[in-house]
Structure 1
Amino acid sequence: MTATPVRAELISTLDEKYVSNTVAFTAMIATGTLIVDASSLRGADGALDRDLIRTRVDRLSWFAPSMRQRLVSTPLRLTTPAWVPVTALDLEHHVRFHDSVEPDDPDRVEVLTGRAFAAMAMDKPLWDFTFVELDSGRVAIVVRYHHVIGDALFGLRIGDVLAGPQSSAEAPLAGPAEREALGVAPRTGFGVLRVGFAQWWRQQGSVRGAWRDYWRKPLRKRVRRWVGRLIRPLKNARIARSGLVDAVLAGRSSRYIVVDLAAATKRAYRLGGTVNDLTVAATLVAAARQRPDAEFVSILVPISRRTPADARVRNAISVVKVTVPAGDSLAQIVPSVRNQVQHAVDSGGSIVAGANDWVGYSTYVTWGREQRYFGQAPVETVTGWPAGDPADEIACLACSYRRDLVICVTARESIDVDALVSSLAESFNASEPVGG
């Protein structure tokens, strides 16, 4: 019988910034909400069948290995933290059920953003599902996962596993291939270091390659990062006393609008861009109206660098700072966004020039046009709630699913969020905004 392989995966220094302190950790929790017809998820008494739901999630998690990994520090924090396998999930922690029935009302979405839920535990896999009963009989599945697991496109792979295009009464059982792909954790921290070093060495290909890779970063920077890891617990303790984590979540409100995807695609094309360009341009127009005295307005736009060759890379994102005259019309801004984003794509890296004066970020993802199911429960609506820098005034995430385009915004209290959403609705030609 073949022994199960021992696995550990050191995270990149870029990914480490998402867990550098508790403020960054809290800010970078991404949330998506699936609203489903829940009749197939109920038992004979009409209540949600918790055992059925938890069993399904447990079985499916074997087919998304990142759901069965947690972060651990290496001895003396010599390296970045490492992902190690977790063979047994704490299902009561990861699959939760909201205490009360909430209105199925697009004007009241605070619960669906996940901001009020309990903090994630660093010693467990960084995701959770909360099932929220709605007064219509539907159920909202609020899915939270941490950005250190992966970017939006990486996260959609997990979504593909959990909500597939086929209705199924029972989730498949994991076999030897899934268990081997996950592996088992090293027994000690030094074992994590040994596995991580072996992986890095194989990637270099030669002694010369290893030497060049190690010294491409200055020794001073490496020492500074190591010291930062050593004092991280002290920094987090100070942050806890200061109340900064609560401040990250407080003073924010969210809204969304729903538009027809085909109509939005046609509108974007006529204006000289894509749905992503229209989303960014609409956010810029809305932000400019919040700053009537501004000459220019800027926003960050994430760009995926993911290719088939780097499918295992968790976060493959660069950003471009897009700047436009605040008085320009939507028709002028869409092609400008298109040109600036395309220039960044062609350059192969991030382009964030000038002052740090952006209002936040705006982006678009798609989950395809196929009907999806959580078990036998059809997914009717998909909403993505943006995560980002605590300093962002505005964060906008548009997500398309089937025939709908749902544009979600989260704004600080300094922003008139109702006016913001009304402006977005106008840009997308939506008849009226909805939100909460």
Structure 2
Amino acid sequence: MTLTQTRTTIPEEAKKEGLLAVVISRAVQATRTADAAVTRATEAVHGVVTPIGWAVIAGAALALLIGYGWGWLELIALGWGLAVLVAAASVWLIGRGAGSIRLVLPSPRVVVGEPAEARLIAASPGGRRFGGVQLELPVGRRVVERVLPALPRGRAFDEQFRIPTERRGVIAIGPARTVRADPIGLMRREFVWSDTVDLHVHPRTVPIAALSSGFIRDLEGTPTRDLTASDIAFHALREYVPGDDRRFIHWRSSAKTGTFMVRQFEETRRSRLMVLLDLDPGAYTDEAEFELAVSAAASVGARAIRDARTVSFVVSGHASTAGIRQNAMRELPTVSRDRLLDALCLVETEETAVMLPDVARAAAESLAGVSLAFLVTGTARGIAPLRSAATRLPPGVETIAVQCAPEGEATARTIAGLTVFGIGYLEDLRAMLARSASVA
């Protein structure tokens, strides 16, 4: 074989091998496509045929098999009758029932007890007539069912559904779907038209007075509206009065006006407020006490956020075998009032919750600069654990314990430096804090 022949033969063999590889690759791809199509078809069939339908199909196949095998005309007639029944049920699945369905939630957040509604708008494209299709809307654990009426062309189905908001929580609404099914229940075909939306049912809160207690003067704090003669946040110039520190005389302005002028400053203060909500079920006599405690803690946290104070909202963590301090506390987001209340929608008592003194100790170790702490719990929690929790906080922290007893008598007492409020209504907390602010 010459060099020329070699150069001619090798490309021909390469072409054959390349063609074979392409054929094999396309065959594998076609096989995968066929498998995917079969899988999709199988899933579609499984999603359409109900358990009753599968039983009827199996009965028809068995009757025809035995009937033709043994020559039993009765079984053959029964088998074909069941087959015709399945074929007739399939006719009910034709069509979608609507061109578009929109789920509208006017407000994603409501307060417990407030009315809330979801709106469904169904329309058909091109003005085609639709109707007679079942419409389902999951609302929490229940399903709202309606039948789309046979509306004239160009008109839409528009209806509002009431959402129960008797209890705090997050209610999943949707997805809206239409269902086509035969009267016997052999076939069922669902069309999903919308995503699932969440409705946050916030705990009830009351507006309380500004939390003026627990402030610590600090040069690295936040400027306030209170004026002082010495600080770092400059406010204005004023005339010198006897007793002013001469170090703060502004000589250039004094030379221009001919009168001694001194600098005036805004006082800067530091205040980190901590709200600790007890999640131990043993601290509450019933669910109503816990709901009142959640509302009380939420009211304090919301007011602190409104006042732009540095606030940490802490709840009991989970006890673990690895060490109680690792999971003794959890912080809820406080970047905004809505974020805090959204998180409180999901807070519940837990059997594995860490005891209140251990939560307070973990908070003291994790949160620096706390100057005012609220311990919110139930009446089943005695005074001793409250005092123990208060002693776990750093010295100088003003601590207020709030014990919640629905419809109970409002009380206020001080025990060994610990202020204990007993409230029966949220309005009691507002009144007690306002009274404390006036006394301070």
For Structure 1 versus Structure 2, the TM-score category normalised by the shorter chain is under 0.3
Greater RCO, 1 or 2 (C-alpha within 8 Å, sep 6+): 1
Q: Which has the higher strand share?
A: 2
Which has the greater radius of gyration?
Answer: 2
TM-score by length of 1: 0.22
TM-score by length of 2: 0.22
